[in-house]
């Protein structure tokens, strides 16, 4: 009964991934090249993203990263420009490729020999024409790119938008950032790379339609050095060695989700794993000398997942869930789907040395971020002005979960 009431209320004030966007209220006309053609902070809805093929190479030894993204888009209304989000990125190239028919169905990306990504299955239909170079304008005030073309895009048709770009690691824990830690046996600091895209920082990692309602599926490739591992939202498909001691990890295509939920981590961590009753693999990653402090968080996460699945009567839709302890971060926790990052002190717990209050802290925070795997990730607010909805639900549900987890603690909502 509780789950039914919660989801009925949530459905009244949110949108699901498959909800159709409304047409723009403004006419899309070909603008002069020197004028940015869009004046609103929200993106137009003339373009709908369907599938991102993203390859990113964060250079751990420097302060920069490079990337390529191909976005399969559907044109909702005729338009002569594409508006999407970008912040602090340098666009090297932008092209557009038309597809032969609007009914083309794409399948999961497969590994290719080049560092870039995608091979779509076009058994009956084929890509046509040559890629069209796009003129690029940028609005720093609205964190948007305008991609201009000479030939208008036709409603109902599909296109492939390709962009090559570079950027700098974030100075804050927003976008792609670096963190460091030391081990007792090694005086030199070790560096990891992590992401935090909420509320609107995916645009600092790759050009995208960075609004919660513009959901799509994502196929990710992460390039890293061979001594590291990478993690992302979905399980890894396979690894391919490339030049200069680098390897690239190919990940399964994600469920349909908002851009702010995309996540990856590059690290040299150890792992502690278990399974839920339904067989979902739950793993906690931490520095090797801290891995013995992850047992309580792992046990709590597994039990909380079982509690939520029983409470909501909706199965967690991903095959795995990773929790990662990140040093020196501002946010105590993030909710990225399938890959949740935590401040080290918010996830680790030392048996026999810390109090029940410390266990309560770990339990509540874990329950909060896992509640978002349903409230926020599966069902999402339409835009960022309604972020209080998902946070309010998660704050309420964390206490319900911990009451089930530890009834003798007498936790109240």
Which parts of 260-386 fold into alpha helices (H)?
295-312, 344-347, 356-371
For residue 5, what is the enclosing H or E element?
helix 2-13
Classified as helix, coil or strand, 353 is: coil
CA dihedral (213, 214, 218, 221) positive or negative: negative
Other residues' Cβ atoms within 10 Å of the Cβ of residue 371: 26
With contact defined as beta carbons under 8 Å apart, do 324 and 179 qualify?
Answer: no
Beta bridge pairs of residue 145? 84, 138
CA dihedral (396, 400, 402, 403) positive or negative: positive
Please give the sequence-ordered ranges of beta strands (E in DSSP) within 120-275, or none if there are none.
132-133, 135-139, 144-153, 158-168, 175-183, 186-196, 217-225, 229-232, 236-241, 246-251, 264-267, 270-275
Going from the C-alpha of 34 to that of each of 30, 39, 80, 142, 148, the distances in angstroms are 12, 14, 15, 17, 11
For residue 85, what is the enclosing H or E element?
strand 79-85
Active site residue 369: yes
Q: Which residue, chain included where needed, has tokens 């992401």?
A: 195
Query: Which of 382, 126, 82, 109 has its CA nearest to residue 258?
Result: 382
Other residues' Cβ atoms within 10 Å of the Cβ of residue 243: 6
Q: State the catalytic residue, choosing from 211, 303, 335, 369.
A: 369
With contact defined as beta carbons under 8 Å apart, do 230 and 224 qualify?
Answer: yes
Query: Which of 175, 176, 146 has its CA nearest to residue 163?
Result: 146
Rounded Cα–Cα distance for residues 46 and 396 (Å)? 37
Enzyme catalytic residues: 369
């Amino acid at each position: 009964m509780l789950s039914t009431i919660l989801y009925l209320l949530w459905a009244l004030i949110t949108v699901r991934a498959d909800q159709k966007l409304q047409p723009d209220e403004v006419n899309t006309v070909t603008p002069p090249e020197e004028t940015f053609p869009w004046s609103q902070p929200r993106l137009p809805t003339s373009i709908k993203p369907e599938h991102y093929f993203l390859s990113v190479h964060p250079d751990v030894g420097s302060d920069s990263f490079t990337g390529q993204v191909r976005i399969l888009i559907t044109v909702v209304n005729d338009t002569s420009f594409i508006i999407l989000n970008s912040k602090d990125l340098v666009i090297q190239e932008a092209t557009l490729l038309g597809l032969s028919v609007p009914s083309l169905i794409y399948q999961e990306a497969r590994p290719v020999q080049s560092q870039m990504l995608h091979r779509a299955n076009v058994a009956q239909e084929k890509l046509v024409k040559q890629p069209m170079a796009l003129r690029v304008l940028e609005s720093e005030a609205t964190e948007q790119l305008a991609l201009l073309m000479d030939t208008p895009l036709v409603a109902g048709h599909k296109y492939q938008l390709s962009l090559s770009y570079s950027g700098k690691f974030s100075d804050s824990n927003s976008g792609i950032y670096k963190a460091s830690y030391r081990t007792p046996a090694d005086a030199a600091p070790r560096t990891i790379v992590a992401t935090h895209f909420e509320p609107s920082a995916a645009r600092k990692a790759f050009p995208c339609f960075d609004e919660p309602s513009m959901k799509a599926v994502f196929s990710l490739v992460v390039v890293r050095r061979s001594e590291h591992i990478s993690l992302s939202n979905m399980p890894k498909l396979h690894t391919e060695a490339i030049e200069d001691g680098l390897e690239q990890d190919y990940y399964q295509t994600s469920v349909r989700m908002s851009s702010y939920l995309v996540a990856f981590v590059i690290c040299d961590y150890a792992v502690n794993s278990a399974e839920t009753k339904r067989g979902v693999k739950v793993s906690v990653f931490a520095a090797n000398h801290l891995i013995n402090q992850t047992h309580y968080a792992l046990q709590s996460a597994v039990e909380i997942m079982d509690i939520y699945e029983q409470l909501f009567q909706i199965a967690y839709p991903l095959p795995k869930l990773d929790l990662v302890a990140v040093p020196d971060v501002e946010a105590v926790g993030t909710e990225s789907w399938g890959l949740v990052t935590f401040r080290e002190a918010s996830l680790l717990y030392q048996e026999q040395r810390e109090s029940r209050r410390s266990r309560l802290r770990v339990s509540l925070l874990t329950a909060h971020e896992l509640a978002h795997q349903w409230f926020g990730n599966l069902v999402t607010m339409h835009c960022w002005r309604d972020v209080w909805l998902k946070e309010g639900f998660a704050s309420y549900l964390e206490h319900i979960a911990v009451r089930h987890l530890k009834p003798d603690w007498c936790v109240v909502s």
